[in-house]
Amino acid sequence: MAVDLHIHSTISDGTLTPRQIVQVAQEKGLTAIAIADHDVVAGVEPAMQAARGSGLRVIPAVEISTEYHGSEVHLLGYFIDIESPSLLEKLQQIREARRQRARQIVQKLNKLGMGITVEDVAAQTGQGSTGRPHIAAALVKAGYVSTSQEAFARYLTPGRPAYVPRYRLSPSEAVHEIIQAGGLAVLAHPGIDNAEKYIDELREEGLGGLEAYHTHHSDAQTRRFLQLADKLGLLVTGGTDSHGPGGPSPVEIGSVYVSDEYAAGLLAWAKEHQRA
């Protein structure tokens, strides 16, 4: 069994469409994939349609960005009902808050005498969702700063004049949303978000799994998360977090090994919860 349960498509900030991802996964002989876009599930259905009738299984998924004690924590939801009205409404709210924030930052920059527009920022965004990196890129393009780092340091970070805080769910709210949509809540890449310290707490809220295998986990981290999952009775997931060729994380789909045993554990969970 070869699986990749963490792939981003053009629906969020990846460079391959859901259909192209299915094609790549089929060429590589993968047996299961999950398109886990940021705060959006619209890539799941087209991928399922493209894979229909083939040996490739598409597991419905989402990756929700949350904030906890000032740092970013990502939660993955697997086997979610992608038509769940409460989940769709919450995701919509998160995306709208992000657009709103970008508009507010642009207004602040305008007041500071920098004439960039929401359209200038959109031109830097491509198909993904707008964030501060795109605003920084627009400032570079317009010549107000020479690098993105300078844009962040002078204007876009807490305490700087164009900073606007962002509305986000807490990790436990995201866990509840995922569970409410019938899904399995999994802590994404605990090794890169430094989120390991929240595992116990989130388990009390219903966390069901850990993403032990991830492109940016060292072998030692992977081993530690496998042991931890075993000790805490959590399921194990893994994936590349691929954003497609030329994207922000151009790692190849399917290039992180996820053991059969763990993939089988997930499918057994889904069967038990009638989501298979």
Binding site for Zn ion (CB under 5 A): 63, 74, 188, 241
- State the Cα–Cα distance between residues 157 and 165, nearest whole angstrom: 9
User: With respect to Zn ion, which residue has the nearer C-beta, 162 or 243?
Assistant: 243
**Residue 8: CB minimum distance to Zn ion, A:** 6
- Judged by beta carbon, residue 63 or residue 234, the one nearer Zn ion is 63
Other residues' Cβ atoms within 10 Å of the Cβ of residue 27: 10
Rounded to a whole number of angstroms, the minimum distance from the CB of residue 22 to Zn ion is 18
CA distance 265 to 5: 13
Tokens representing residue 243 in the block = 């954003």
Q: Please say which residue, 52 or 216, places its beta carbon nearer to Zn ion.
A: 216
CA-nearest of 58, 8, 79, 72 to 235 is 79
Handedness of CA 6, 10, 15, 21 (dihedral sign): positive
C-alpha 33/C-alpha 7 separation (Å) is 8
CB of residue 4 vs Zn ion: minimum separation in angstroms? 12
Q: Is the Cα torsion angle 266, 26, 214, 38 positive or negative in sign?
A: negative
Nearest residue (beta carbon) to Zn ion: 74
Nearest CB to Zn ion, comparing residues 216 and 271: 216
Judged by beta carbon, residue 101 or residue 243, the one nearer Zn ion is: 243
Query: CB of residue 11 vs Zn ion: minimum separation in angstroms?
Result: 12
CB 6, min distance to Zn ion, A: 6
Rounded to 5°, the CA angle 36-37-43 comes to 90
